[in-house]
A and B are shown apart, each in its own frame.
Chain A
Amino acid sequence: MLEVEGLRKRYGDTVALDGVSLTVRPGETFGFVGANGAGKTTTMRIVMGVLAADAGQVRWNGGPAGFATRRRFGYMPEERGLYAKMRVAEQIEYFGRLGGMRAPDARRSAEALIERLGLAARRADEVDGLSLGNQQRVQLAVALIHDPEVLVLDEPFSGLDPIAVDALAGVLAERAAAGAPVVFSSHQLDLVERLCDSVGIIKAGRMVAQGTVAELRARESRKRLRVVVTGAEPGWIDRLPGEVVAKTDRPHAAVPQGAGDERYDEVILVPSDDQEALRVAASAGRVQHFGWQEPSLAEIFREVVA
């Protein structure tokens, strides 16, 4: 289990981290989200020992994470770093050796990753001749080569095309299934929602929300109803109890479920009385949809961070 506890970090007068804590269990994928400058990168750099915290600690399997422990972590820094003049296979292997692998193991592992990440045609090219997407795949291979016990990836998905995103997502899922805690930061909240078991939202150096996506939804205070009614007379929406967040009323819209040339209304509502809302909708016309709307992670994020 990876535990981060009470990290604090100041740069002069600027407080970068103000008591950040998080826990990632084996096999869990943790999504780290927050605005630019909120403290994601600083936290990850401290976890990797690249930066020293002013206070707080990082523990792995109950003990403090020292240099020897961190050698077994896999890391992808925010600002990508590769040797421009080294060849792809050679470079991945080199980092494997630095991570403590024997030469034949490093070679085998590098070859496997090259295949897996679709770099086979580029294996003998120098890195500075690769596209950015391919450089990123090499960067990921460098993080994965020594079969790390923990993965810490800073913005691994930024700049990747959809196919590379899928390949990367597959690899991360594999590592998590093998029992490694995986931590990554991202601004692509749909991706975080899809891939992560748990999410941490950081704002100005503080964790403002943390838990599974379901838990975060449950904490969402403003519950929303989505109501779709066809064939209603104009004005019924005003009779709904509560606050209308959004509405579409299309008098002659092409209606789903083949209901002909009728009026079609869709309303997002924060109801003061959900049963009364149902009665109003049912009396106004034909209720096509009536249900709680699950907020997306993006909506939760905006709410929490606002």
Chain B
Amino acid sequence: MNTILLVARREIGVRGRTKGYRYGLLVTAVLVAVLAMLPKLLGGPDDHTVGLAGARADRLQAALTAQTAQDDDLSITVTRYPDEAAARAAVAAGDVEAAIVDDAKVISTTVLGGRFAVALDTAHRMVTTEHNLTTAGLDPAKVAQAQQVAPMARVTLNGTGEDADVRSVIAMALVVILFMLLIQICTWVAMGVVEEKGSRIVEILLTALRPWQLLAGKVLGLGVLGLFQLVVIAAVGLTAAQVSGAVPHLPDGTYGVVAGVVVWFLLAYAFYAAMYAAIASLVSRQEELSGVLTPATMLMTASYLVGFFAVGSPDGGLTHVLSLVPPFSSLVMPVRAAVVQVPLWETALAMGLMVVAAAAVLYAGGRVYQRAVLRTGARVRWGEVLRRSS
């Protein structure tokens, strides 16, 4: 055990201090933070200004205030102007974004859109309706009473309809981050194996430790680096989204989803790292590596694509089945969990199957590695390492 930790510590120390790792982590963190804040940055603030002039300005102001009171994310500052000319001048000077004159026309420099336009329109409808009804002889008090409309209660049948957009974005971010981290760390494992085999360091190493100890230490050490990256990225992303106000409140269960992702990362990493290491031990030169790794990389990419597809169709037939089947489950199930509520038994089944698959690959990969790692020179064939049981 001590030996494994020594090997792991070397991997962390040597890989962790490279510029590639440090800047890579920094750049990724900044990128994730920017992406998390993007909706806010692009959307601009939902703080608006409007000028009011002419008839029924008081009533319009009241109607606007009532609307912003119901919506935390929208604020409208009202300025009063004596007449249309003053209001027009204020819009032209940029003092206000728009001005409503006589409850009849809205003046702006460009076409208004979004919630601000809806709010102005709603205020206009309310005030005009009220005016028309009162003019028709109805009791102003009763008219005011009739205007009091409670917002509709929202009932969602699958329980997660709320924040659906936020959930999709989180799911998409998760699958991209998981995939990129897995590819990166597993490639490091493969490169490390070839470095040791190609330079024959492995000959000295294996007089001091067993092949499985060397492999376990390498996988453990690089896994720690990968896990650290994942945690930093998740923390930066969630914090940036909240602090910037892009996502004022995370959907219920987001932290559970993130914790699940950590578990899925570890399982997928164990699976793919063992696979990459075993394959890498067949060759002696880095140039040969990408060629032999292609099937494994394709498998991972296929999982990634299904996971990406699952964002839009979390309960579709294919995504539903593949969210249970290893190794696809490791990239599909976290997405489903982020978007919809996955029954506990399905999560348990998917994780259980993935644990079994990872254990099997670790075992087989360890055997292949052990037989192939000292055989330098020409590429070792699969048949040679799988057939003989020495």
A and B from one complex: yes
Binding site for B on A (CB under 8 A): 45, 48-51, 67, 70-71, 73, 75, 77, 79-86, 90, 94-95, 97-100, 142-143
Give the distance in Å from the alpha carbon of A94 to the alpha carbon of B13 in the complex: 12
Once the chains bind, are A95 and B204 in contact (CB under 8 Å)? yes
**Contact with A45, one of B14, B203, B210 (Cβ below 8 angstroms):** B203
Once the chains bind, are B203 and A81 in contact (CB under 8 Å)? yes
Nearest CB of chain A from residue B112's CB, rounded to whole Å? 59
> Which residue of chain B is the closest to A76 with respect to CB atoms?
B204
Question: Known contacts A49-B207, A83-B14; is A98 also within 8 Å of B3 by CB?
Answer: yes
Once the chains bind, are A50 and B207 in contact (CB under 8 Å)? yes
- Contacting A at CB under 8 A, from B1-50, are 3, 6-7, 10, 13-14, 18
Give the distance in Å from the alpha carbon of A123 to the alpha carbon of B194 in the complex: 26
**Contact with A86, one of B14, B202, B204, B208 (Cβ below 8 angstroms):** B14
Once the chains bind, are A75 and B200 in contact (CB under 8 Å)? no
Nearest CB of chain A from residue B13's CB, rounded to whole Å? 8
User: Which B residues are CB-close (under 8 A) to A81?
Assistant: 196, 199-204
Nearest CB of chain A from residue B198's CB, rounded to whole Å? 9
Interface of B (DSSP majority class): helix
Once the chains bind, are B206 and A50 in contact (CB under 8 Å)? yes
What 1/0 mask marks residues of chain B from 206 to 217 whose CB sits below 8 Å from any chain A CB? 111110000000
A and B contact pairs by CB, cutoff 8 A, 29 listed: A48-B207, A49-B206, A50-B207, A50-B374, A70-B207, A71-B207, A71-B208, A75-B204, A77-B204, A79-B200, A79-B203, A79-B376, A80-B199, A80-B200, A81-B200, A81-B202, A82-B201, A83-B195, A83-B201, A84-B199, A85-B18, A86-B10, A86-B14, A90-B13, A94-B6, A95-B208, A98-B7, A98-B205, A142-B204
> Which residue of chain B is the closest to A97 with respect to CB atoms?
B6
User: Which A residues are CB-close (under 8 A) to B10?
Assistant: 86, 94
Nearest CB of chain B from residue A54's CB, rounded to whole Å? 12
What 1/0 mask marks residues of chain B from 167 to 202 whose CB sits below 8 Å from any chain A CB? 000000000000000000000000000011001111
Nearest CB of chain B from residue A247's CB, rounded to whole Å? 49
User: Which A residues are CB-close (under 8 A) to B199?
Assistant: 79-84
Nearest CB of chain B from residue A182's CB, rounded to whole Å? 16
Tell me the count of chain B residues lying within 8 A, CB to CB, of chain A: 23
Nearest CB of chain B from residue A97's CB, rounded to whole Å? 5
User: Which B residues are CB-close (under 8 A) to A95?
Assistant: 204, 208
Nearest CB of chain A from residue B196's CB, rounded to whole Å? 8
**Contact with A77, one of B3, B195, B200, B208 (Cβ below 8 angstroms):** B200
User: Which B residues are CB-close (under 8 A) to A94?
Assistant: 6, 10
> Which residue of chain B is the closest to A45 with respect to CB atoms?
B203
Give the distance in Å from the alpha carbon of A67 to the alpha carbon of B208 in the complex: 8
Once the chains bind, are B208 and A50 in contact (CB under 8 Å)? no
> Which residue of chain B is the closest to A139 with respect to CB atoms?
B204
Nearest CB of chain B from residue A185's CB, rounded to whole Å? 15
Nearest CB of chain B from residue A100's CB, rounded to whole Å? 8
Residue among A49, A79, A90 with the most chain B CB within 10 A? A79
Give the distance in Å from the alpha carbon of A79 to the alpha carbon of B209 in the complex: 19
Once the chains bind, are B201 and A73 in contact (CB under 8 Å)? no
Give the distance in Å from the alpha carbon of A108 to the alpha carbon of B260 in the complex: 46
**Contact with B203, one of A50, A67, A73 (Cβ below 8 angstroms):** A50
User: Which A residues are CB-close (under 8 A) to B207?
Assistant: 48-50, 70-71, 73, 75
Nearest CB of chain B from residue A101's CB, rounded to whole Å? 11
Give the distance in Å from the alpha carbon of A95 to the alpha carbon of B206 in the complex: 11
Give the distance in Å from the alpha carbon of A100 to the alpha carbon of B10 in the complex: 15
Once the chains bind, are B209 and A77 in contact (CB under 8 Å)? no
Residue among A45, A71, A84, A97 with the most chain B CB within 10 A? A97
Nearest CB of chain A from residue B222's CB, rounded to whole Å? 14
